[in-house]
Amino acid sequence: MRGEPDFDTPSHIVEAATRAMKAGRTRYPDNRGEIALRQAVAEKLSRDNGVAYDPTSEVLVTTGATLGIHAALLALLDDGDEVLVPDPIYDAYLSPIVLAGGRVAPVRAAIEEGRFVITARSIEDAITPRSRVLLLNTPWNPVGTVFREPELRAIADVLARQNVILISDEIYEAITYEGCRHVSPSALSADMRDRTVLLNSLSKTYAMTGWRVGYCAAPAPIIQSMFLSLQQSSRGPATFVQDAAAVALTGPQDAVEDMRREYTRRRALVMQSLAGIRHVRVLAPEGGFFAMIDARETAIPSEQIRRRLLQEAGVAVIHGSAYGPGGEGTLRVSFASGGDTLARGLERLRAGLEAL
């Protein structure tokens, strides 16, 4: 059910942490992040995302993307500012917006040609004089859409016209399928680089959810504000974790590709196992490790379907309405776990949906 990869962290990363611990890398870290990790982040962003950041002033290391989101919202929002958020969306964005004094302004997504989309037009329609930030996640949890470059360019035009800042959560960037390619919005233009806070984490890419290490990149004044707010909370991941994270970002990337291939196999299994059920269709995910089941034709509320699947079929999925009213009628199926768990889960899910 959850977004928790079942892979072990690649051994060369574990070994790097062990080495660092044995070498006494157990003191307080630099609160901005150890400089070697910030340099590794800058190298990675230039190599993979095609965008240059200065590691001394434009990169911040955070305790997972979760703390990056908090720090960005605290830095950017004044009381009453609105944050435009696609609906449906990763639900854990909502409370930090409120804690930072902001208001959530949903932008309703639609299912078009088998994929969830939000258009530049729908974003523009939701903008008010209080709109300060658009929070985008590509690949998009829960729906699996990978924003295409022309879609992002159209959104970028709206942001520039309306002077809205983008928080871009790119945590699933390494997991894309069938020729879909992750595009970092900050790489689109100098203007987008100036108005974007890029967030990422090692949690999903390297199966490092429990290590709690992520990073942000943005223009120096924003990073400076984020740094000040972060200093009042976590002060960054453990020093030896940061050393291992630098090795993860700059060392061999074979394990990332191996995991992507395995997710590709799991995705195919999900699509096959759930094909041909009356009134139900699976939206093929373009990225991430969740598939959305479109069960709108059943006209049963997704929360009710979720309960029945759990109680009658013994399988856990998440109802789409948990991610906002725009998710009503859909169900999120995770293939972050594979093997027997996934195979048995899919059998139960198929039986449960057929019974429904």
Ligand X SMILES: Cc1ncc(COP(=O)(O)O)c(C=O)c1O
Residue with Cβ nearer ligand X (1 or 160): 1
Residue with Cβ nearer ligand X (86 or 329): 86
Interatomic CA distance for residues 22 and 2, integer angstroms: 34
Residue with Cβ nearer ligand X (90 or 263): 90
Minimum distance, C-beta of residue 151 to ligand X, in the bound complex (Å) = 18
3-state secondary structure the chain: CCCCCCCCCCHHHHHHHHHHHHCCCCCCCCCCCCHHHHHHHHHHHHHHHCCCCCCCCCEEEECHHHHHHHHHHHHHCCCCCEEEEEECCCHHHHHHHHHCCCEEEEEECEEECCEEECCHHHHHHHCCCCEEEEEEECCCCCCCCCCCHHHHHHHHHHHHHHCCEEEEECCCCCCECCCCCCCCHHHCCHHHHHCEEEEEECCCCCCCHHHCCEEEECCHHHHHHHHHHHCCCCCCCCHHHHHHHHHHHHCCCHHHHHHHHHHHHHHHHHHHHCCCCCCCEEECCCECCEEEEECHHHCCCHHHHHHHHHHHHCCCCEEHHHHCHHHCCEEEEECCCCHHHHHHHHHHHHHHHHHC
Minimum distance, C-beta of residue 350 to ligand X, in the bound complex (Å) = 26
Minimum distance, C-beta of residue 61 to ligand X, in the bound complex (Å) = 12
Minimum distance, C-beta of residue 205 to ligand X, in the bound complex (Å) = 10
- For the chain, what's the residue count? 356
Residue with Cβ nearer ligand X (1 or 220): 1
Residue with Cβ nearer ligand X (318 or 356): 318
Minimum distance, C-beta of residue 165 to ligand X, in the bound complex (Å) = 18
Residue with Cβ nearer ligand X (131 or 138): 138
Minimum distance, C-beta of residue 321 to ligand X, in the bound complex (Å) = 18
Report residue 90 as tokens.
Answer: 């990763």
Minimum distance, C-beta of residue 337 to ligand X, in the bound complex (Å) = 14
Interatomic CA distance for residues 239 and 2, integer angstroms: 28
Residue with Cβ nearer ligand X (204 or 350): 204
Minimum distance, C-beta of residue 9 to ligand X, in the bound complex (Å) = 13
Residue type, 195: R
Residues that bind ligand X in the complex, under the rule CB under 6 A: 3, 64-66, 90, 137, 141, 169, 171, 201, 203, 209, 214
Is the preceding peptide bond at 129 cis, omega within 30 degrees of 0?
A: no
Which residue number is nearest to ligand X in terms of Cβ?
Answer: 64
Is the preceding peptide bond at 139 cis, omega within 30 degrees of 0?
A: yes
Minimum distance, C-beta of residue 322 to ligand X, in the bound complex (Å) = 13
Residue 171 backbone class (left: φ over 0; alpha: ψ -120 to 50; beta: rest): alpha
Residue with Cβ nearer ligand X (48 or 157): 48
Residue with Cβ nearer ligand X (217 or 280): 217
